[in-house]
């Protein structure tokens, strides 16, 4: 698998591709929270940060999936959850991580994840995973993450497990 790294300056050019991967990952999902329009808001919000970083995986010219995020500002944390007091240092928020269905279960997700976090200058990485997806949570636990609580960042969002791991 080939991987390409994108930064804030690339965000406008890669936006459509990120949205297309999202559409493939959520094809057939009727929840308005998972719509392309709703997701575009989050893409723009996160990619608007100057330290935004994104890694896309490719096989034979087709996108496999991506992961992106940025550092929280000092003291920053996920909306809807209070940062645990024992978590100290700089925190990288892995905001989005998607793999198209045909590549799930092939190990490529881990490669994309590891490529993104390998270049992160932080003490911790954190992510949110829908509580209704216990298999995904179990996968993150295998990768060294642990749950530190739950959050519901917005009225229309699902409930998420807040997970962290040291870097």
Per the structure, the count of domains in the chain is 1
Range of the domain at 58: 2-166
pLDDT at 8: 97
CATH number of domain containing 98? 3.40.630.30
Q: What are phi and psi of 62, to 5 degrees?
A: -105, 140
> Is the CB of residue 80 less than 8 Å from the CB of residue 153?
yes
CA-only gyration radius of the chain, Å: 15
Q: Would you state the pLDDT for residue 86? A: 87
Which pLDDT score is estimated for 85?
A: 87
According to the model, what pLDDT value does residue 153 have?
Answer: 92
Strand order in the sheet with 2-7: 2-7, 53-59, 62-71, 91-99, 124-130, 160-166, 146-151
User: For every one of its 167 residues, what pLDDT tens digit does the chain have, with 9 covering 90 and above?
Assistant: 999 999 999 999 999 999 999 999 999 999 999 999 999 999 999 999 999 999 999 999 999 999 999 999 988 999 999 999 889 999 999 999 999 999 999 999 999 999 999 989 999 999 999 999 999 999 999 999 999 999 999 999 999 999 999 99
Instruction: Identify the pLDDT of residue 75.
Output: 86
């Amino acid at each position: 698998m080939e991987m390409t790294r994108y930064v804030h300056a690339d965000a406008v050019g890669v936006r459509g591709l990120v949205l297309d991967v999202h559409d493939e990952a959520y094809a057939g999902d009727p929840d308005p929270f998972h719509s392309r329009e709703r997701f575009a808001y989050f893409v723009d919000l996160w990619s608007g940060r100057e330290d935004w970083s994104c890694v896309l995986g490719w096989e034979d010219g087709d996108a496999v999936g991506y992961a992106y995020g940025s550092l929280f500002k000092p003291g920053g944390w996920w909306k809807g959850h209070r940062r645990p007091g024992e978590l100290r240092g700089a925190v990288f928020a892995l905001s989005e991580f998607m793999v198209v269905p045909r590549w799930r279960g092939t190990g490529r997700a881990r490669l994309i994840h590891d490529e993104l976090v390998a270049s992160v200058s932080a003490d911790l990485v954190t992510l949110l995973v829908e509580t209704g997806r216990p298999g995904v949570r179990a996968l993150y636990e295998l990768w060294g993450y642990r749950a530190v609580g739950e959050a519901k960042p917005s009225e229309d969002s699902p409930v998420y497990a807040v997970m962290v791991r040291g870097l």
